[in-house]
Amino acid sequence: MKTKVAIIGAGISGASIARVLSRYENLEVHLIEKAPDVGWGVSKANTALIHGGYDDDPEKYPTRAKLCIRGNKLWHQWVKELEIPHVWNGALIVATKDEDFDELERLLERGRKNGVPEMRIVDRDELFHLEPNLTREAIGALWVPIVGQIGPIPAVIAITENAVANGVKTHLETEVTGIKVENGEVKGVETKDGFIEADIIINAAGLYADKIARMAGIDYFEIHPRKGEYWIFDDDVPGPKRVLFPTPTPISKGIVVTTEISGHLMIGPNAQDLPPEEKENLATTKEGLEQVWEGAKKLWPQLPPRSKVIRTFAGLRPEPTGGDFIIKAEEEVWGFISVAGIRSPGLTSAPAIAYEVAEIIKRDLGIELKEKEKWNPYRKEISHFFTMTPEQVNEAIKKNPAYGKIVCRCNNVSEGDILEAIERMKFIGVKTPSVDSVKFRTKATTGTCQGSFCRPKIVQLLAREYGVEPWKVTLKGKGSEIGIGDVKVLLRGDA
């Protein structure tokens, strides 16, 4: 008889846990998410870094320090197995005054304690060899070669697709309303769509992990949101080759300057602590964005004109009581495992968190895990017309003429790419057709025009493939249905 496992939250942590647990034949794994698609919570908006493991104090934050470096190593394997967009470009923590080197030496020593390889302090000449367009005030840096970048939502999607292919059952648009506990043991998850029986419940609910914990009678921690704001520039704006950090202060790591995985210069984030009740506050602010702009100029003084900005956005990080990750089997309720307070470096740590949870199930819950004889670690990325060679393009068009029809001109996304994305959406259980679900799988609507050209055609394809009227297609789930203006464009045949 299989042990039933319910994972609450399909962000990077929950999806990674689902993938690792899908290896075991005696587990029946359910991945529960209130959003219409995976990765739409905390995982959606961040700096998308695979951190180097030098930043977390192993005495103050032992779990973060341990799992960050483990996660970094695992990502080198996972990005290959799952064909996740990535780059290993390294990071520079830049000194602009002599006293900064004291902090860089502390970071170097901390990194060595945490097991970070190949870190070293570089002088001004080597620094400008690594990053020629850095501020002229730079006098040296800490060089951390193992830092990388990935697409965070593409990563969650890839991991979930692989988990589903290995037997995980998803429950999207399924909001948890309660946890059933009898005689000190979990019995299942109450949702707006019915009851999901479970022997083990894993609370990976991000900003709402404290709320879910209280449903089970666990009330020793609180999560408050920390907001970070960002600017993204057009892809014809040159950015740095490496990830650039200022020398951190006791208050902040400082504003990061980087070229994100799609080739856009990105600056941010700042850090603003919000009260616990503001877990949906994703509004950008004039003051916050100006803080980011001024901070970025200290590293990258030749910021492009603001006319080159294509988007600003904000993300929220779940800051826990005590600051460290909370990953444990709760003694008060047998079968309830907390995976809470997964703030930075949560993206980096996610694969290691997943293996830690598997170990907790074995060690603390006493459940023997039996590996499947045939578990598939691989997943293929969407074909992506824009990455193909001319020979591959010709071959793809022969097989499916839809690959010869460009829908998104900014990013060269074809109709074939979009149809493949829709097929994959259905595969993992996306019930509500949304433009954002296509965007995160193909990059359509993320270019210079931000979807003004391609959105109507995407709506048309979503409506056709989901068998609904165009005005029932959404931008980002229920409540964001397409307006009458886009429908008129469709009816005119302009798309």
d(CA 15, CA 9) in angstroms, rounded, equals: 8
345 prior amide bond cis, ω within 30: yes
Distance CA 158, CA 421 (A): 12
Cα–Cα distances (Å) from 88 to 54, 242, 296, 337, 476, in that order, read 16, 9, 22, 33, 31
Residue 159 CA to residue 157 CA, distance in Å, equals 6
Q: Checking DSSP bridges between strand 243-246 and strand 91-95, what pairing results, if any?
A: parallel
- Listed in sequence order, the residues at least 6 apart from 87 whose beta carbon sits closer than 8 Å to its beta carbon are 148, 149, 261
In terms of residues, how long is the chain? 495
Q: Which amino acid is at 329?
A: A
114 Cβ contact partners less than 8 Å away, ≥ 6 residues apart: 53, 54, 56, 58, 65, 66, 68, 69
- Strand-pairing partners, residue 6, are 30, 201
Burial per residue of 435-458, b for 16 or more beta-carbon CB atoms within 10 angstroms, e otherwise: bbbbbbbbbbbbbeeebebbbbbb
What would the two tokens of residue 293 be? 């702009």
51 is known as an active-site residue: yes
Catalytic residue among 51, 86, 224, 384: 51
Q: What is the DSSP letter of 470?
A: G
Host H or E run for residue 51? none
Q: How far apart are CA 150 and CA 47, in angstroms?
A: 9
Closest by Cα among 176, 170, 164 to 430: 170
Tokens of 25: 């034949």
Handedness of CA 442, 15, 462, 234 (dihedral sign): negative
Instruction: Tell the burial category of 317 from Cβ atoms under 10 Å away from its Cβ (0-12, 13-18, 19+).
Output: buried
Which one, of 345, 318, 316, 323, lies nearest residue 207 by Cα?
318
Q: How far apart are CA 412 and CA 387, in angstroms?
A: 9
Which residues carry out catalysis?
A: 51
